[in-house]
């Protein structure tokens, strides 16, 4: 960090399935201690004036139920004033890790006389083409399932999605624009669902076994343990709307507009097909 003026803290474990006895070791400790280590190290370098931390919308909400309850309670979509209160070590531990890490960062700033200011970016589920196909990525694993038939029949699961290129723009703005520190910013391009995303990709790739029909919630609820999911997850996530307000990032980070969902999905799908990550399907047209 020596000689730097801006630090970007981007890395934390993105693991959605963790053994119950490993949550502290695999998720909580790396996320919380990692964030605090960066902040402490930055405070030792007088040249650093700003730290940008990548948090997540998981620190804001766990699922569609959180969003719907917030809307009923406040009359507004979930925004940067919202904090995740539903995640636990046994239910959505990843969301808990992001929440605890971000809260620890803000507490550190309040309790210490830091030579720098903090800004936090809270991206939704990141999709779009990367520098290369990273097979260990949750995002690429999701896209592969979209295109190989795994999700051809799918539950009605709402998702908030953002293009990776917009995430990069948001971080640069948080790092260098004046008067944006001391705040958190939702980076979210679209409130959508798996079936609608399948329909979007189908327009460009009609021969692939994309999501095309919904599995009833009652059926998913019954067989959830066989699929490696909890019934609590199904109850809260299937058939609910995960809607988040991105107005603040558009305004204060001067993003203008987010990348259209169709471009995000099709650019990433093409990259996966071109690299053989999604098996090529010969056109029938």
Tell me which residues are annotated as active site.
Answer: 98
DSSP codes of every residue in 185-229: EEE--EEEEHHHHHHHHHHH-TTS----EEPPHHHHHHHGGGGT-
* Residue 218 DSSP SS3: helix
CB-based contact 147:170 (threshold 8 Å)? no
Contact 102, 53 (CB under 8 A): yes
For residue 265, give the 3-state DSSP assignment: helix
- Per the DSSP assignment, residues forming a β-bridge with 271 are none
Burial environment of residue 235 by CB neighbours within 10 A (0 to 12, 13 to 18, 19 or more):
middle
Please give the Cα distance from 205 to 28 (Å, whole number).
40
Strands 158-163 and 190-193, how do they pair?
Answer: antiparallel
Continuous segment of H or E residues that includes residue 113: none
The secondary element (H helix, E strand) that includes residue 50 is strand 50-54
Give the bridge partners for 193, in sequence order.
158
- Cα–Cα distance between 73 and 58 in angstroms, integer? 19
Select from 168, 95, 94, 156 the least CA-distant residue to 128: 168
């Amino acid at each position: 960090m020596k000689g730097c003026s801006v630090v970007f803290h981007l890395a934390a474990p993105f693991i959605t399935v963790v053994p119950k006895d490993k949550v502290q070791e695999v998720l909580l400790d790396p996320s919380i201690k990692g964030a605090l280590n960066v902040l402490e190290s930055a405070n030792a370098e007088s040249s650093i004036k700003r730290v940008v931390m990548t948090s997540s919308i998981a620190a804001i909400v766990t699922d569609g139920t959180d969003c719907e309850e917030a809307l009923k309670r406040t009359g507004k979509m979930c925004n940067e004033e919202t904090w995740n209160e539903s995640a636990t070590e046994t239910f959505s531990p990843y969301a808990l890790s992001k929440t605890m890490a971000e809260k620890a960062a803000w507490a550190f700033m309040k309790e210490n006389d830091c030579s720098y200011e903090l800004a936090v970016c809270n991206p939704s589920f990141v999709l779009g083409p990367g520098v290369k196909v990273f097979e260990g990525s949750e995002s690429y694993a999701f896209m592969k399932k979209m295109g190989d038939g795994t999700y051809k029949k799918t539950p009605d699961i709402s998702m908030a999605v953002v293009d990776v290129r917009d995430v990069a723009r948001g971080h640069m703005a948080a790092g260098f624009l004046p008067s944006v520190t001391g705040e958190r910013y939702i980076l979210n391009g679209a409130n959508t669902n798996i079936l609608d995303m399948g329909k979007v990709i189908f327009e460009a790739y009609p021969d692939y076994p994309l999501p095309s029909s919904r599995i009833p919630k009652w059926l998913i609820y019954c067989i959830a343990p066989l699929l490696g999911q909890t019934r609590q997850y199904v109850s809260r996530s299937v058939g609910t709307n995960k809607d988040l307000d991105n107005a603040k990032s558009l305004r204060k980070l001067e993003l203008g507009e987010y990348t259209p969902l169709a471009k995000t999905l099709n650019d990433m799908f093409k990259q996966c097909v071109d690299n053989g990550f999604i098996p090529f399907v010969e056109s029938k047209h």
